[in-house]
Amino acid sequence: MIRLVLYLVLSLLAALGVTWLIALPGTVEISAPGWRLAPSLGTAIFIALAAIALAILVWALVRRILGAPAALARANARRREKAGIEALSDAVIALQAGEFSRARSLSRDAGAKLPGNPAARLLEARSELALGDLASAREHYRALISDDRTALAALSGLYEQARQQGRPSAAITFAKKALAMAPSLDWASEAVFNDLAARGAWSDALEMSAALPARTRAQKAAKKRRQGVLETALAMRLEETEPDAAFDHAQKALKAIPDFVPAALVAARIEINRGDTRRASALLRRTWRAGFHPDIATLYAHVKPGASAVERLKRVRALIEAPDDHPAAAMVLARAAIDAYEWSTARAALAPFVAKDPTRAMCLLMAEIEEGQSGDQGKAREWLARAVRAPADPAWTADGVTSDEWAPASPVTNRLDAFAWKVPVEARTPASLSLQPAEPLPPALAPGAAPQEDAAGMPARP
């Protein structure tokens, strides 16, 4: 309604303006050979404005006719560009859907309709890589490296291609180039870290980790965790040869990852060797309460080298306030009680758990208790049979591999910080690690077997 009113008002004003021009007093004389014209001033102005408008209209029409070929060319280019963008979009969808042949065809079509578009060539290279046409993919990627917009994507593709071809040194070279261009690139930093982990170059990895930027909270947390893992790896390497340096690295690791079991074990062992059992005990108590890891409790029992089994049992009882709260606490207490021939204590510690769903280690402990307390070979064999079918106990696990001891990287993929304390899903046994097989049962855990100790009376390290 408002627009209608405004339109009527403006139309009225325009009509009044034209009427005013025509009614202006005075005349204008226009003469030419053979004719003479003397309109009024307003009429002359109106004619002049009309002539100007007509000239503009004629020029616009002539210009449109003259520019028709260029306009048609531009329209065709726009249609071609639209078709190229649609082909590019369909190529991305086909690549994600696994239709690699269709993705390559569409990316080529997009490249033909969008000449100079690097995305089309990149999609074509990705499709060829997925199809196994490694030679063509390599040529496309090498051509894309010269473009700053696609250099990182091309290096990523060359890295994947090198990995598929089994050329790890070339893959790491591409990852290092990408990392030099973008220090915060996740895949490149992970690849370089995994390479350093595979070679055990912990000092280089630690230096590299410290230089990597961390802007977000998640990146800062990941960097702190990575620093702690690398410090622990260095501490484990230097523990035997340079205990002071190893202790410093272990302390830094505990600062980065509080109550980190591998670092705490290294630091506690060094303090025990120094004779500072008080500080070692305090560290182990704090770490035990944080996660109830059995290795912590076992080392706590052996803090005093040469201690008898009865003394070790007393220390374990002082550490474990309520063994029925956690299965690891119950098994540690039962192990110490068996070593001290306190069969009733060992049986009572395991009773709340074996009545429900005992694990493999619990069954083995019960077999020792049955044979040691009453000499009942039948019940002992029954527990051994149950151990074969019982659920596995938590262990240091990475990529299906279980290890007696934590390792900084996975022996399968060389991935840093891969080992976690959990129930293993599957068992694999590379020769480089001391692993815990599912069966047959280890002789050291057979009924009546005594725990292995070193000359100082401490449990031997695997």
How far, in Å, are 82, 194, 398 from residue 414 at the CA level? Answer: 46, 5, 10
Q: pLDDT at residue 357 above 90?
A: no
Average pLDDT, stretch 55-63? 89
Long-range CB contacts (< 8 A, 24+ apart) of 240-246?
243/270, 243/273, 243/274, 246/270
Q: Are 51 and 39 in contact (CB under 8 A)?
A: no
pLDDT for the residue numbered 69: 86
pLDDT for the residue numbered 18: 67
The encoded tokens of residue 183 equal 């220090």
The Cα–Cα gap between 224 and 15 comes to 80
pLDDT for the residue numbered 250: 96
Strand order of the β-sheet with 401-403 is 401-403, 395-398, 420-422
Span 293-329, pLDDT tens digits? 999 999 999 999 889 999 999 999 999 877 777 899 9
pLDDT for the residue numbered 442: 43
Q: pLDDT at residue 3 above 60?
A: yes
Span 124-170, pLDDT tens digits? 888 888 888 888 888 888 888 888 888 888 888 888 888 888 888 88
User: In the chain, pLDDT over 90 holds for what percent of residues?
Assistant: 36
pLDDT for the residue numbered 125: 85
pLDDT for the residue numbered 234: 94
Span 417-462, pLDDT tens digits? 999 999 987 544 443 444 444 334 444 334 344 444 443 344 444 3
The Cα–Cα gap between 133 and 110 comes to 20
Task: Provide the b/e sequence for 154-189 (b: ≥16 CB within 10 Å).
Answer: bbbbbbbbbbeeeeeeebbebbbbbbeeeeebeebb
The Cα–Cα gap between 379 and 368 comes to 10
Which among 301, 350, 319, 269 has a CA at the least distance from the CA of 451? 301
The pLDDT confidence band at residue 43, using thresholds 50, 70 and 90, is confident
pTM of the complete model: 0.66
Average pLDDT, stretch 284-298? 93
The Cα–Cα gap between 4 and 71 comes to 36
pLDDT for the residue numbered 439: 39
pLDDT for the residue numbered 406: 94
Q: pLDDT at residue 339 above 60?
A: yes
pLDDT for the residue numbered 22: 66
The Cα–Cα gap between 23 and 333 comes to 118
pLDDT for the residue numbered 21: 64
